[in-house]
């Protein structure tokens, strides 16, 4: 059985900086993925009205994220 664990990041009044160095849009055009100079990967929802809202931020890379690619099926 596969168990899914959702990580939650909590910070103060100011979110961590995210200097975008890479960007990708999913095939369904509903999610934008950005990589940052600070080593984070962020997922953003893109609505049909072209409104962007943050979805998740992933920490863990020790270097800049300079390239993003999707996995093949």
**pLDDT, tens digit (0-9, with 9 covering 90-100), for 29-68:** 999 999 999 899 999 999 888 888 888 888 888 899 999 9
Long-range contacts of 8-15 (CB under 8 A, 24+ apart): 9/57, 9/59
The answer to whether residue 5 scores a pLDDT higher than 70 is no
| Average pLDDT score over residue span 12-16 | 70
State the Cα–Cα distance between residues 70 and 33, nearest whole angstrom. 10
Q: List the domain range (segments joined by +) for residue 41.
A: 17-57
In a domain, 7, yes or no: no
Give the pLDDT score at 7. Answer: 55
Please tell me the least confidently modeled range out of 4-8, 15-19, 36-40, 60-64.
4-8
In a domain, 42, yes or no: yes
State the Cα–Cα distance between residues 20 and 27, nearest whole angstrom. 20
In a domain, 39, yes or no: yes
In a domain, 34, yes or no: yes
């Amino acid at each position: 059985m596969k168990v899914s664990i959702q990580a939650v990041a909590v910070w103060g009044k100011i979110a961590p900086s995210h200097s975008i160095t890479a960007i990708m849009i999913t095939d369904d055009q509903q999610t934008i993925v950005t990589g940052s100079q600070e080593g984070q990967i962020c997922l953003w929802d893109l609505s049909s009205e072209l409104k962007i809202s943050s979805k998740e931020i992933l920490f863990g890379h020790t270097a800049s994220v300079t390239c993003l690619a999707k996995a093949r099926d």
